Amino acid sequence: MATPNSNNPRPARPVLKQRLSSASFLQDHEQYKAPVFQNLGDVLRQPGDTLSTPLVLNSNPIKPNPEKVADSGIVHSIFNHEASDLPPGTPKLVATIFYKSSSPINPYVHPDISLQANPGDKLPPPVVPEGSAPTVDMEKIPREPPAPEPEPLDHLYGRFVSQLCLASFLQTLESLSTPYQRTYTSHRCLDQEAQPRVVEVTFWPPPNPEYLTFADLQKHESIWRFEREWNVEVVFQRESVFRRFKRLAVFDMDSTLIQNEVIDEIAKFVGVEKEVSEITARAMNGELDFSASLKARVSLLKGVPADVFDRLKSIVTISPGARELCSALKVLGFKLAVLSGGFQPLTEWLAKELGIDYAFANHLEVDPITQTLTGNLLPTFPIIDAAQKRALLRSIAAENSISISQTMSVGDGANDLLMLNTAGLGVAWHAKSKVQLEAPTRLNGPSLVDILYLLGLTKDEIEELTAVADSKKI
């Protein structure tokens, strides 16, 4: 039998070189691991023993360090930090992450980090989140119940876009089921560096559309799960000059620029609020034809005094951030329009209040003798339904020589879906469940000013714009 040749040593096993691992975005985020200052003796002790150092019970033992997300200026990659071999002009995508501070998944702070919580307190059971299904009633869901909710992590790691939240998002992007490719990302905080609520992440190249289209990316299950875990909303956009420099914004009125449904308010005058509200809710969720439902609701308003709109002005509540949003857009040179399925008198009044250039709504017929509503619409004016809103968006853009890619639209009802999907940026704002599922973008923040972050503006820039608007008395 042949003996091993001692002069020919066995080849060394391959080793993952440092240069292959050092560029990992996970290693870039090693700073998130906070040192543990407690030793085993501090935790395991006999009854009656006293601690030399008090055990801190109201802090998170893995609190991020440092405790803020700063604009990195770093391009994160799972590959080497070598010169990119991507061709010039490689497309980029922008993801704007909003922490939902006004609606935490768990209204109770986790017992581990709260002095107010008792050790026996339990987190509330998971529920079907609003906007993730046509109904939140488990008995009415027409298919298998949704999978259990992921454990919300914001109550553990911070009620803002934390460093761990950002790292989780980057890892989610890397894990999407697309052919393996180099992915580069960078981020910046739009509102504040310490505990930011809004963070913008740019990554490139985008997923190969043959495997994952942009529309599918926006509604990808992994992205949805990330949103639920960290209590955030993610808005994807293609990065281009037209994302940052738009010129036309069109808005729905009811439940968008104002918090009221005008037709429901009018119905209170004749005691048919319940009947009208039920039809309105079904129409806005896409369960009824809008034009037919509008005529049915208007017929119930017969006999209402024609001056009802003057009375309504005192009870109409303009949505938070609507004035600031419109003022900032006007300073930027935008043309603004309100396209409402409501009624013309109140729409024109709101347009003057907010400095809006165009106002289109439905026209009610008035009896000239009794000066009351007849219960009919004026036949000489078109009904402002979904198709008409889309047509008006296109015609206003054409009138001002504005390309569709430089337009944005904001609405909440099913009759807004066509214009939301037509505009360069369509935002479903606190929308009905069906609209949140079908709109290209959805936001449920505390203020309409959040829409300005989608244009890449920072908080300081937004404040500068509103200050200029105030000085001009727009």
State the SS3 of 307-343. Answer: CHHHHHCCCCCECCCHHHHHHHHHHCCCEEEEEEEEE
Question: Is 270 inside a domain boundary?
Answer: no
**∠ Cα 171 173 175 (to 5°):** 70
Parent domain of 358:
248-260+317-472
**Beta strands at 407-411 and 93-99: parallel, antiparallel or unpaired:** unpaired
CA distances from 143 to 146, 266, 473 (A): 9, 38, 54
- pTM for the model: 0.76
pLDDT at 321: 97
Q: Are residues 228 and 256 in the same domain?
A: no
Q: Are residues 388 and 254 in the same domain?
A: yes
Residue 24 confidence (pLDDT) above 70: no
> Mean pLDDT across the stretch 262-291?
80
pLDDT at 129: 58
Residue partners of 324: CB distance under 8 A and separation at least 6 = 447, 448, 449, 462, 466, 469
| CATH for 204 | 3.30.70
The answer to whether the CB of 176 falls within 8 A of the CB of 222 is yes
Q: What is the pLDDT of residues 29-55, one digit of tens each?
A: 444 444 545 555 555 555 555 555 554
Which pLDDT band, with edges at 50, 70 and 90, does 226 fall under? very high
Q: What is the pLDDT of residues 430-464, one digit of tens each?
A: 998 889 999 999 999 999 999 999 999 999 999 99
pLDDT at 58: 46
The residue ranges of DSSP E strands in 158-253, in sequence order, are 184-189, 198-204, 232-238, 248-251
Q: Are residues 382 and 335 in the same domain?
A: yes
Question: Strand pairing partners for 234?
Answer: 97
Residue 191 annotated among the catalytic residues of the structure: no
Question: Is 44 inside a domain boundary?
Answer: no
Residue 96 confidence (pLDDT) above 60: yes
CA dihedral 304, 310, 315, 320 (to 10 degrees): 130
More confident residue, 113 or 336: 336
The answer to whether the CB of 342 falls within 8 A of the CB of 254 is yes
Q: What is the pLDDT of residues 111-169, one digit of tens each?
A: 444 445 555 656 555 555 555 555 656 566 555 555 666 677 887 788 899 999 999 99
Residue 21 confidence (pLDDT) above 50: no
Q: Are residues 169 and 215 in the same domain?
A: yes
Question: What is the rounded average pLDDT for all residues in the chain?
Answer: 81
Q: Are residues 191 and 253 in the same domain?
A: no
Which pLDDT band, with edges at 50, 70 and 90, does 79 fall under? very low
Q: Which listed residue (28, 154, 252, 385) is catalytic? A: 252
Residue 252 annotated among the catalytic residues of the structure: yes
Q: Are residues 322 and 446 in the same domain?
A: yes
Question: Is 143 inside a domain boundary?
Answer: no
Q: What is the pLDDT of residues 201-224, one digit of tens each?
A: 999 889 888 889 999 999 999 999
> Mean pLDDT across the stretch 54-83?
50
Residue 180 neighbours by CB distance under 10 Å: 7
Which pLDDT band, with edges at 50, 70 and 90, does 89 fall under? confident
Highest mean pLDDT among 42-56, 129-143, 294-308, 375-389: 375-389
Question: Is 59 inside a domain boundary?
Answer: no
Number of structural domains, the chain?
Answer: 2
Dist. CA 315–CA 311, nearest whole Å: 8
Q: What is the pLDDT of residues 390-427, one digit of tens each?
A: 999 999 999 999 999 999 999 999 999 999 999 999 99
Q: Are residues 456 and 321 in the same domain?
A: yes
Question: Is 37 inside a domain boundary?
Answer: no
Query: Percentage of the chain with pLDDT > 70?
Result: 71
pLDDT at 151: 72
Q: Are residues 434 and 363 in the same domain?
A: yes
Q: What is the pLDDT of residues 162-194, one digit of tens each?
A: 999 999 999 999 888 677 777 888 999 999 988
Question: Is 227 inside a domain boundary?
Answer: yes
Residue partners of 286: CB distance under 8 A and separation at least 6 = 414, 417, 432, 434, 435
Q: Are residues 327 and 391 in the same domain?
A: yes
pLDDT at 183: 82
Dist. CA 203–CA 141, nearest whole Å: 36
Q: Are residues 205 and 327 in the same domain?
A: no
Residue 83 confidence (pLDDT) above 70: no
Q: Are residues 235 and 256 in the same domain?
A: no
Q: Which listed residue (191, 254, 412, 450) is catalytic? A: 254
Residue appearing with tokens 């347009």: 351
